[in-house]
């Protein structure tokens, strides 16, 4: 779009609050470059920071990977850092081993892992890609937080 139409372009990710916040800051910064009034440009960046502060105040963030391409796996590795774990073996036995080793509090995965969580006696949050609501943007993160809360405090799952 930039080369063909002269429309400014930035590549961003809306995956997780950190990336979403960075994306909004980068959009505001890019737009500010085109504003002649420096006061308005500064106000745009300030209002962006205010929005980020308001929207992230009550978020609970949890991330898991699903069926991914090689490019997505590289991005996931970047997101989780050196200490994060990206499993290539996702059999129930492998997941149970990791849950035990890490003393995980919750399993967040697709529906196929529901019984693995039951066997491990930990809460389960189904984030299967076939669900009818997205976890995108701030609203999606709030939905994710609510569903995570419901999973953690489900009367059918022992806590602790």
55 or 131, higher pLDDT: 55
Question: Which of the pair, 10 or 25, is modelled with greater confidence?
Answer: 25
Model confidence band, residue 156 (pLDDT cutoffs 50, 70, 90): low
Q: DSSP characters for 44-110?
A: HHHHHHHHHHHHHTT--------S--HHHHHHHHHHHTTT----S--SHHHHHHHHHHHT-S-EEE-
Q: Give domain limits for the chain.
A: 2-56, 70-152
What is the tens place of the pLDDT at every residue in 83-107?
A: 567 777 778 888 898 888 877 888 8
**pLDDT averaged over every residue in the chain:** 81
> Band of the pLDDT at 18, cuts 50, 70, 90?
confident
- Asked if residue 159 has pLDDT above 60, the reply is no
What pLDDT, on a 0 to 100 scale, did the predictor assign at position 58?
A: 55
- Class at the top of the CATH hierarchy for domain 70-152: alpha beta
- Smallest Cα–Cα separation from 51: which of 137, 134, 135? 137
pLDDT tens, residue by residue, 93-145: 888 988 888 778 888 888 888 898 889 888 888 887 777 777 888 888 888 88
């Amino acid at each position: 779009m930039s080369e063909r139409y002269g429309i400014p372009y930035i590549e961003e990710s809306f995956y997780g609050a950190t990336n979403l916040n960075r994306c909004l800051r980068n959009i505001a910064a890019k737009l500010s470059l085109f504003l002649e009034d420096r006061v308005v440009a500064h106000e745009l960046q300030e209002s962006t920071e205010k929005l980020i502060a308001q929207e992230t105040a009550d978020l609970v963030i949890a991330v898991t990977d699903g069926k991914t391409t090689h490019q997505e796996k590289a991005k996931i590795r970047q997101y989780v850092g050196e200490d994060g774990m990206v499993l290539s073996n996702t059999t129930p036995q492998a997941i149970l081993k990791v849950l035990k080793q890490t003393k995980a509090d919750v399993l967040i995965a697709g529906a196929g892992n529901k019984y693995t969580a039951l066997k491990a006696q930990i809460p389960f949050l189904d984030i299967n890609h076939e669900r009818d609501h997205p976890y995108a943007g701030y609203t999606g993160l709030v939905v994710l937080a609510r569903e995570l809360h419901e999973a953690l405090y489900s009367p059918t799952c022992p806590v602790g």
